[in-house]
Structure 1
Amino acid sequence: MNTTCPYCGVGCGLIAGPGGLTGDAAHPANRGKLCVKGATLGLTLDDRDRLTTPTIGGRAATWSEALDHAADRFAAAIAEHGPDSVAFYVSGQFLTEDYYVANKLMKGFIGSGNIDTNSRLCMASPVAAHIRAFGEDIVPGVYADFDEADLIVFTGANAAWCHPVLFQRALRAREVRGTKIIAIDPRRSATADLADLHIPIAPGGDLALFAALLNLCAERGVLDHRFIRNHTSGFDDALIAARTAGHGIDDALFDQLADLVATTPRMVTAFSQGVNQSEIATDTINAILNLHLATGRIGKPGATAFSLTGQPNAMGGREVGGLANQLAAHLAFDDPAHHDLLRRFWQAPNLARRQGLKAVDLFDAMHQGRIQAIWIAGTNPAESLPRSNYIRAALERCPTVIVADCWPTATTARAHIVLPAAGWSEKDGTVTNSERLISRQRAFRSAPGDAKPDWWMFTELARRLGHAAAFDFANPAAIFREHAALSAFENNGARRFDLAPLAAIPDEDYDALRPLHWPVAPGDQRLFTRGAFSTQDRRARFIAVTACPRAIAASGTITLNTGRLRDQWHTMTRTGRIPALMAHRDAATLDLAPPDAERHGIGTGDLVELTSADGTITLPARLDAAQSAGTCFAGMHWTQDQGSAGTINRLIGSARDPVSGEPAFKHGIARIRKIEPLWHGIALCRSAAIARLKPAIGAVWSRTPRVGGLIHLRFTGTAPLSQGTTCRTLAATMFDLQDTIETVDYADAKCGVFRLAALNGGSILLLLHVARDHAALPTVEALEQRFSQALGSLDAGALLIGRGASRAVPTGRIVCVCHQVSEPAIRAAIAAGRLTTIEAIGAATKAGTGCGSCVSELKGFLRHECVAAE
């Protein structure tokens, strides 16, 4: 059965068969290739810990009871406080059909614009910029442009890690046609490491750089004046504004970049969260679009500006109007004709007349008591939104919080009604990827328990609110037909989003639907090849943007950048359960540039307290020469389930782009200081229940799944152990150990050594070691070795031995997850074979021969070993 991957916006095709999940060679997005996350999707089909039954106030309920209660709460809030007192907050994990029903219900029949999506956090700025420039939210290019470009510029996009299958196409283009690859990024990311040229700009420097490039192209006479004259407006003002911009980088480096840009007509500029998540994001994207419009590099083979979507269906959500500032089907709130068209199509006299609250504003309104009921689905705002502590308080203040999800999260923990949702592999519908390619996502297994798809839940809510006739959908195909019909209704070419040929698609054809681009029409899949933009006069708009100097950071502060890691996804409810995906980065760290670390006396592994105006967290440092001085980086994925640091979003403030409302996740301001550890600990546990640590253990801790269902825990004490501490009291402080569990222990309180084993029915449940000196602790491999042995073959002393008494050798960090190749194995192979190329490493170890995401690290090992040999 053909389906698609639920991770990034590349939208890779998959085949689900008896042998597992494989890449779909016939799917145009990936041609059979998968990244390591996609390749391990089969391991996520584990229903342990899934939500399977509706609950009300923590009590199990039937669907009828839960939906009746939800509808009563919504109806009561609307009756007493009006339609703007309720809201939906949904997700790019939705299928288009889920999105369509939710949006139609809130805007069309409840009569409020208060539906927003977590795509606000990653894609709202491209939407705003596209509409300003093109008149419609449109990505003009297609993935084939990466194959046909002579120059590919990645700006604010670590595609080697975040869109790896698409990045592999860029690398192949370099092999086949000599394509040059440029990475613009404050960090020397994996993408920058593999690029031909890295431009290390200051955070937020993209706008000034692209404005300077526009001015440079004008000075060199390489603008497409015919295209500007025939198909655009506003050029003169945009160029005047660009002339005020300094490029902000080394002059020689700018000259290199400028020469390539000025002399290479086949140029793709791909941008993502590094650009999008900024207070000046919309202007920055318009600066990129200005450059492409001025040079005529739009809608042509190998020439386009390309927004790389973060989620698998963020594009589909934008099509149906899932953002609070959209109506539906690329119709706009501020156009009376659009409002009238949609009112008539939906037969919705109560259609919302004004934009709703965007994500950050929505939770502000909740905190202030203006939102009386909210339905959250497929997303975890208690962890993923900025100011996480504030967001949690807002949820706790709201009279009615309804959450539909697949797994328990920090958000479901604060819900009054929890609804079990069907997830990927269990529900049917469509998704649209970054290149406007619509694909079917198909169910190939049953949902556990009573879990249901989101479109069904919203349809049932609509019926209970009195709107049954407008939501008489029998299946996803019926929803898709209405969605397609709306896109075509009185369109007449005014909007490029048009699915007219699919408006009457039979169920059997929908079931068999193969990937296709919109607009669904014969001809080139690229848009704007001959101009004809979606504005009233069919001309693209240049936007005059000004690059204002960023405020100088206060002395002693550091710029906090957050983002994705190679093998993880969002808040790790799916990927965090797979040991193989935790092997590359197994715990939260703060990446620091060596000069900043040296100034604070910090080394790798030392504890760092990171403080912003919104909170404080403590986590281990990781020194990284790829980090630019004055900045630090933390992965966005970690939550309170994986460690004491919780989410880094606790430290991100409410600053956001004034046009798009997208939060500035890349530009936090913080202070750092070193924390001296007082003790260290390691534990290995067989029981997930025992491994749920108590919150006040006086230590920084992390939790990582290991192969075989074991759980690895690490501790670094920040508060002294109390006098009279024993092994049992220490273990009881950390874990939920029942009194009936048998324990054996060893303690030397004077030396600060405590060791305990918890046993049950002849098997080991827990091994815990605590010591003042980290070097005295055993390795996790040594503890795993003890778990693997029959308990009868071990005496109590053998269970509690420390470092040095075990022959288990640390395996080291896994670099190549596809083939489980560790860093020590790679370094040993390089040294033994005197290897000098990535290909040679692959031949010797298989590292780098899978998805390719680890190639930049292999390149770093080669550099290091060559220097060492010299």
Structure 2
Amino acid sequence: MKLSAIPTTVRTTCPYCGVGCGVRAQVGQDGALAIAGDEAHPASQGRLCVKGSALGETVGLEGRLLSPMLRAGEGLHEASWAEALDKVAGGFRKIIAEHGPDAVALYVSGQLLTEDYYVANKFMKGYVGSANIDTNSRLCMSAAVAGHKRAFGEDLVPGCYEDFELADLVVLVGSNAAWCHPTLYQRIVRAKEARPGMRVVVIDPRRTATCDLADLHLPLKPGSDVWLFNGLLGYLATQGALDSAYVQAHTVGLGEALDAAGEAAFLAPGGREAALLDVARACRLDPQQLLAFYELFANTEKTLTAFTMGVNQSSSGADKVNAIINCHLATGRIGRPGMGPFSLTGQPNAMGGREVGGLANMLAAHMELDDPSQRAAVQAFWDAPRMADKPGLKAVELFRAIEEGKVKAVWIMATNPLVSLPDADQARRALEKCELVVASDIVLGTDTNQLAHVLLPALGWGEKDGTVTNSERCISRQRAFLSKPGQARPDWEIVCEVARRMGFSGFDFTAPQQIFDEHARLSNWQNGAGSQRRRVFDIGGLAGLGRAEYDALEPVQWPVRRQGEDTQRLFGDGRFAYPDGKARFVATRARLPAHLPDAEFPLVLNTGRVRDQWHTMTRTGRSVKLAEHVPEPFVDLHPQDALLCGVKAGELARVTSNWGTVVARVRHGGGIARGSVFMPIHWSGQTASDARVGAVVNPAVDPVSGEPEFKHTPVRVEPFGVHWYGFILSRAALPLREAANWTRIQGAGFVRYELAGRKPFADAAHWARKLLQVEDDDADWIELEDRNGGVYRAAHLVDGRIEACLFVSQRQDLPARAWLAQMFCKESLSPQDRSGLLSGRAREQGVDPGPTVCSCFGVGRDTIRIAIEQHGLKDAAAVTACVKAGGNCGSCVPEIRALLGEASIKAQ
């Protein structure tokens, strides 16, 4: 199905991470989408990471949900919008009438636009009368929200991206920014190149690509962040590094925070050395490296500390956040250029969702759900019939309540909880039992949608219109440049239609501009009136925009109290959002993670992202460019742990916890300490047979924020024994019922499957034909079998063109995939090509580039390695000049430097 273009270049924003990069998009007459960075957007200044650059490959309509669907028995059938909306509205209305408003819930997403989020929140909290609306941002950012509110009195990020360039010391905590926030990381890289005296410290249990920039890497013990920053606070206090005047004038509670941080241990005779040793032991760090970090922090006024999932995703996440903020408050390093604590959000509109109260314990416009006067203010503004008066269920407890039958209807929007939630098999059980499951989505085939009773087709990126807010509080327009496909509708419109069918007024919006206007007016509504404190979040200056002004809205950082205002930094005047204007120190006491390793589960699982994929790969999994850097799910562990577990690099292993099990390829990335393992989060039931990492993750949550502990699950790793390994390249998608394990990877004109089996096959040709769905006995079929060596190879051709090929071996000595992929670009295979297929080797030398390193330009490891050796290349810039690798987004530069290092060692 051909894309329908809106003819012009459209300025919009990237739909991936919270950096919020600006994008210029244009669809050509041939349907091809041209993507470029927007030089005028302040967040990214014209740069895009490889995921953003590949957006043009992700907007096709294959697999899209394009009409409403209803489930009847085991099957789905298309329905009209009227049928589907009546089903949702009638189901919700019936359940509310019988069981009350808390028997229904919404589970939404940071992928929604602010206008979508606003309408959904208004619908649930003001009209249904329940706060049972939570978001997948609970899984990544709620600890930061809780930390901000405790410290500042409101959920506020003080700084801006410019601070990363102005800082003399950048501390990255639990953040692999090189892969997860690439364009922001590149700003740090350029700043450090311009000012070599600038220092970067990375605090992370793993040695990640981000450490390539680091002057110091502290590989702390997983979960020990509070020990580290409490120790820093105690050290600062005893070194005379606190800003006593600032603390006295602008803060409350330092004494209690110092007591909790163990200041007394530092003050005891000989205490500094002993206390440092205690912290080093607790964090499993070298004492000299720990002292070096403490001295750097103490002696560098312009210090910025950025943190993300490695801090937030913990059963003590809020305390970790506050332990970091405490150190900045104590030194007065906040609200001024080049300094402050900085929460990096994970999703494109996680902050926009927070602005409108998208979490179950919040109200819109940063008002408080547990404050009767603020509830009354919102109810009056909305003219709401019944206002939620208590917090709703947070994500993990929501799905428990569904399984227990307390919540009988759930509407899931723009997220895939059966993959992304911890203890994900419990989420599956919950939806299997739920009376009514509604899903608004852009794709049909997801793990969650397989259990939905009603599927509602939503607009995707490039089709929908509205605003998002990035990590630095910058509101940007996300503009449509594609026509609406099929019967898909914007999420806000779908919610409004259901609300009207339930008899609710207040949902007569006809355009996103009207919703944004109401959102802006609410932010200013009774703000600071009477005895109420003035909320910092205020975009009243953007109220009253006409459609043309809304369409032309330029990026702007809130608060925007008056038209034309833009606010880079908060707290520069020393006033915070508490009624007395003072920030709060939070006494944070170090505690152990909720679940500790033991004899049965001796290793600690850490989860996270890889460079070229996003969430559950609904979008990025469609891109050929993004497929090859990390094509398969993997488990990364230390070689000595692998030896003890009986697993080998390149083979499959089973990873098991108390909650579930997954299977992945073993690798030794070289950056992980003994006792820990790492797995990426991206694979779902559509892209791998058994790699939903959420099924393994423990469901423990932070008691303050409700954020789950994705970074610390006790597991064991053991061999996943198979009889053979293999792979398939096929133009058609295949059902792989015969394989014990498989992964699906998108190729250029074909689908690639990596697979393994436990059963030997007696008749290889019969088995292979069945697997590749070749039923014609006279088909053009070529094959080679070595029974003694356990090798089988086959290919199916039609009119001389390859349709599919299969390679199987009892060992892992399978042919390289890259040169085989080139066969699918040919209209007809030559005799030499056919011979090469069966021999498993390219007939031409130098055609296999090896595993992808630079996805932007498709440059492989072997291409770079050969260039380094043949041309004597000495640095990454020389590699870029020679083979282009590293010349676009820069995300692959750490890997290029690693190859340069290997070449240097080899040459010695």
Which residue type is aligned with residue 45 of structure 1? Answer: V
After TM superposition, the structure 1 = structure 2 runs for residues 707-718 of structure 1, keeping only pairs within 5 Å, are 707=748, 709-717=749-757
Letter aligned with residue 258 of structure 1: Y
**Within the alignment, does 1:585 sit opposite 2:630 as a pair?**
yes
Alpha-carbon distance in structure 1 between the residues aligned to 2:580 and 2:849: 64
Alignment pair present for 1:4 and 2:4: no
Counterpart residue type for residue 52 of structure 1: L
Given the alignment of the two structures, is residue 844 of structure 1 paired with residue 882 of structure 2, yes or no? yes
Alignment pair present for 1:451 and 2:488:
yes
Summarize the alignment of residues 639-678 of structure 1 with structure 2, pairs less than 5 Å apart: 639-678=684-723
Counterpart AA for 1:653: N
Tell me which residue corresponds to 1:422.
Answer: 459
Which of 894, 897, 907 is equivalent to 1:859?
897
The 8 Å contact of residues 29 and 143 in structure 1, kept in 2 or not, is answered as yes
1:435 CA displacement: 0.4
SS for the counterpart of 1:410 is coil
Residue number in structure 1 paired with 2:6: none
Amino acid of the residue matched to residue 554 of structure 1? D
Q: SS of the residue aligned with 1:580?
A: coil
The match for 2:121 is 103
Aligned 8 A contact 2:117 2:353 in 1: yes
Who is 2:512 aligned against? 476
SS in 1 for 2:554: coil
1:392 to 403, 428, 436: 428
Please give the secondary structure, in 2, of the residue aligned with 1:672: strand
What are the superposed Cα offsets for residues 254-276 of structure 1, whole Å, 9 maximum, x if unpaired?
A: 11101110000111000000001
1:231 aligned to 2:235?
no
Amino acid of the residue matched to residue 703 of structure 2? P
- Further displaced range: 125-134 or 41-50: 41-50
Shift of 1:773: 3.6
**Contact conserved, 2:784 with 2:838, CA < 8 A, in 1?**
no
Q: Distance in 2 between matches of 1:869 and 1:419?
A: 60
Corresponding position of 2:556: 516
Where in structure 2 are the equivalents of 1:484-563 lying within 5 Å?
A: 484-492=520-528, 494-521=534-561, 522=565, 524-549=567-592, 553-555=597-599, 557-563=602-608
Deviation at 1:394?
Answer: 1.1
- Deviations 1:837-870 (CA, angstroms, capped at 9, x unpaired): 2222222222222111111111211222111111
2:445 is the counterpart of 1:411: no
For 2:849, the equivalent position in structure 1 comes to: 811
Query: Relative to 1, partners in 2 of residues 1:89 and 1:844: Cα closer, same or farther, differing over 3 Å?
Result: same
Are 1:309 and 2:345 matched, yes or no?
yes
Partner residue, 1:629? 674
CA deviations over 1:421-470 (Å, ceiling 9, x no partner): 10111011000000000001100111211111000000000000001x31
Aligned AA for 1:639?
S
CA contact (8 A) 1:403 1:417 kept: yes
SS at match of 2:679: strand
CA distance in 2, matches of 1:760, 1:343: 67
* Higher deviation after alignment, 431-440 or 485-494: 485-494
2:759 alignment partner AA: P
Instruction: Read off the aligned partner of 2:886 and give its amino acid letter.
Output: G
What are the residue-to-residue correspondences of 1:676-715 with 2, within 5 Å? Answer: 676-688=721-733, 691-694=734-737, 697-707=738-748, 709-715=749-755
Name the CA distance, whole Å, in 2 between partners of 1:429 and 1:472: 17
Q: Matches of 2:833 and 2:899 in 1, distance apart?
A: 42
Letter in 2 for 1:660: S
Separation (CA, whole Å) in 2 of partners of 1:832 and 1:755: 34
Give the share of equivalent positions with the same residue, in percent. 47
Q: 1:180 aligns with which of 164, 174, 199?
A: 199
Aligned-partner SS, 1:582: coil
Deviations 1:144-180 (A, max 9, x none): 1111111000000111110111111112221223321
In the alignment, the residues of structure 1 paired with residue 191 and residue 826 of structure 2 have an alpha-carbon distance, to the nearest angstrom, of 51
**Equivalent residue, structure 2, for 1:30:** 44
Q: Distance in 2 between matches of 1:168 and 1:125?
A: 26
Task: State TM-score, norm by structure 2.
Answer: 0.92
User: Is 1:720 aligned to 2:763, yes or no?
Assistant: no
Number of the residue aligned with 1:574: 619
Show the counterpart of 2:61.
Answer: 47
Q: Is the alpha carbon distance of 1:38 and 1:474 closer, same or farther for their aligned partners in structure 2, counting shifts above 3 Å?
A: same
CA distance in 2, matches of 1:641, 1:50: 14
In structure 1, what is the equivalent of residue 873 of structure 2? 835
Residue in 1 that maps onto 2:781: 744
- The alpha-carbon distance between structure 1 residues 781 and 435, as it changes in their structure 2 partners (threshold 3 A), is closer
Distance in structure 2 (CA, Å) of the matches to 1:729 and 1:240: 69
Alpha-carbon spacing, 1:625–1:774, altered in 2? closer, same or farther (3 Å): closer
Match for 1:230: what amino acid?
A: A
Contact 2:655-2:661 within 8 A present in 1 as well: yes
Q: Please state how far the C-alpha of 1:253 moved relative to its aligned partner.
A: 0.5
Cα distance in 1 for partners of 2:220, 2:829 equals 61
**Distance in structure 2 (CA, Å) of the matches to 1:609 and 1:538:** 53
- Equivalent residues of 1:745, 1:757 under 8 A apart: yes
Instruction: Please state how far the C-alpha of 1:731 moved relative to its aligned partner.
Output: 4.5
Q: Which amino acid aligns with 1:784?
A: A
Contact 2:664–2:691 (Cα < 8 Å) also in 1: no
Distance 1:32 1:481, change over 3 A: same
Which secondary structure state, in structure 1, belongs to the residue aligned with residue 36 of structure 2? Answer: strand
Give TM-score scaled by structure 1 length: 0.95
Q: What is the SS of the residue equivalent to 2:498?
A: helix
**8 A contact 1:496–1:519 mirrored in 2:** yes
Q: Which amino acid aligns with 2:292?
A: Q
CA deviations 1:767-790 (Å, max 9, x no partner) are: 223232443x44334543544455
Task: Say if 1:785 and 1:290 are closer, same or farther in 2 by CA, change over 3 A.
Answer: closer
Query: What's the secondary structure of 1:438's corresponding residue?
Result: strand
Q: Please state how far the C-alpha of 1:760 moved relative to its aligned partner.
A: 5.2
Counterpart pick for 2:654 among 579, 593, 609? 609
**C-alpha deviations, 1:484-534, integer Å up to 9, x for none?**
011000102610000111121112111111011110044752111122211
Q: CA deviation at 1:292?
A: 0.6
Q: Which moved more, 1:650-659 or 1:524-533?
A: 524-533
Q: Count the aligned residue pairs.
A: 860
Q: Deviations over 1:33-59 (max 9, x none)?
A: 111111111111211111101111111
* C-alpha distance in structure 1 between counterparts of 2:764 and 2:642, whole Å: 36
Picking from 142, 148, 159, the partner of 1:141 is: 159
Q: Aligned partners of 1:804, 1:859: CA distance in 2, in Å? A: 29
- Kindly provide the amino acid, as one letter, of the partner of residue 14 in structure 1: V
Q: 1:170 aligns with which of 171, 184, 188?
A: 188
Return the alpha-carbon distance in structure 2 between the equivalents of residues 52 and 741 of structure 1: 39
SS in 1 for 2:662: strand
**1:816–1:400 Cα change, 3 Å:** same
Q: How does 1:210-359 map to 2 (within 5 A)?
A: 210-243=229-262, 246-247=278-279, 248=283, 249-359=285-395
Question: Offset at 1:754?
Answer: 4.0
- Give the superposition deviation at 1:674: 2.4
Q: Does structure 1 residue 14 correspond to structure 2 residue 23?
A: yes
> Could you tell me whether the CA contact under 8 Å between 1:593 and 1:628 is conserved in 2?
yes
Query: Paired residue for 1:768?
Result: 806
Cα distance in 1 for residues equivalent to 2:402 and 2:775? 40
Q: 2:107 maps to which residue?
A: 89
Output the aligned Cα RMSD.
2.1
The 3-state SS of whatever aligns with 1:329 is helix
* Unaligned residue ranges in structure 1 (runs of 5+): none
Structure 1 CA distance for aligned equivalents of residues 437 and 416 of structure 2: 13
Following TM superposition, by how much is the alpha carbon of 1:702 offset from its aligned partner in structure 2, in angstroms?
1.7
- 2:816 and 2:850 in contact (8 A); partners too: no
Question: Which amino acid counterpart does residue 846 of structure 1 have in structure 2?
Answer: K
5+ residue gaps, structure 2, are 1-9, 29-33, 266-274
Partners of 2:144 and 2:377 lie apart in 1 by 25
Change (3 A) 1:220 1:108: same
